[in-house]
Amino acid sequence: MFKNRSKTAFIAAVLGVAYAIYSVVYWSGASAGVTDDAEAIGAALATVLVLPHMLLTVLASIFAVIGFFIRKPGLILTGAILFAVAAALFLLYAVFLIPSIVLGFVGYSKQKKINAVAAA
């Protein structure tokens, strides 16, 4: 599975997918037990505030996974950049994306080197 593929890019993709799933499940379930109108407005406002973060995290995870499987360093880099943008959009949860960001950039450089060696 890891032949001519970066292990760090794989770890970044797995961590990103795990956080994306957690984020979507957590924030979609936040408004499930709401009984009061004020609580419903607050839950809807919180969901709207975190929605760009969630969408970019899911998109970054998709790019990272596809980049890993088709061995394209550009897609891995795109995923790492999108993880960084998602972290900047919601700083409270940025700490959960830092490993994916760092490993994504390292995985990009390693995949680029692996592709150069394989081509030669």
Q: Using the predicted structure, report yes or no on whether residue 103 has a pLDDT greater than 80.
A: yes
- CA-CA distances (angstroms) from residue 49 to 16, 40, 96, 103, 118? 20, 14, 18, 27, 44
Can you tell me the distance from the alpha carbon of 65 to that of 50, in angstroms, rounded to the nearest whole number?
Answer: 23
Q: What is the pLDDT of residues 21-65, one digit of tens each?
A: 999 888 877 666 767 888 878 878 888 889 999 999 999 999 999
CB under 8 Å to 28, separation ≥6 — which residues? Answer: 47
Q: What is the pLDDT of residues 70-92, one digit of tens each?
A: 999 999 999 999 999 999 999 99
Q: Using the predicted structure, report yes or no on whether residue 15 has a pLDDT greater than 80.
A: yes
Mean of the pLDDT values across residues 94-108?
96
pLDDT band for 95, please (50, 70, 90 cuts).
Answer: very high
- The C-alpha angle with vertex 31 and arms to 27 and 36, in degrees rounded to 5, equals 155
Mean of the pLDDT values across residues 10-14?
96
User: Rounded to the nearest 10 degrees, what angle do helices 98-119 and 37-70 cross at?
Assistant: 20
Residue % of the chain over a pLDDT of 70: 96
Position 68 scores a pLDDT of: 96
| Number of Cβ atoms within 10 Å of the Cβ of 69 | 14
* 104: nearest Cα among 25, 17, 22: 17
Can you tell me the distance from the alpha carbon of 40 to that of 24, in angstroms, rounded to the nearest whole number?
Answer: 18
Dump the DSSP string for 48-82.
HHHHHHHHHHHHHHHHHHHHHHHT-HHHHHHHHHH
Q: Using the predicted structure, report yes or no on whether residue 67 has a pLDDT greater than 90.
A: yes
Looking at every residue in the chain, the average pLDDT score rounds to 91
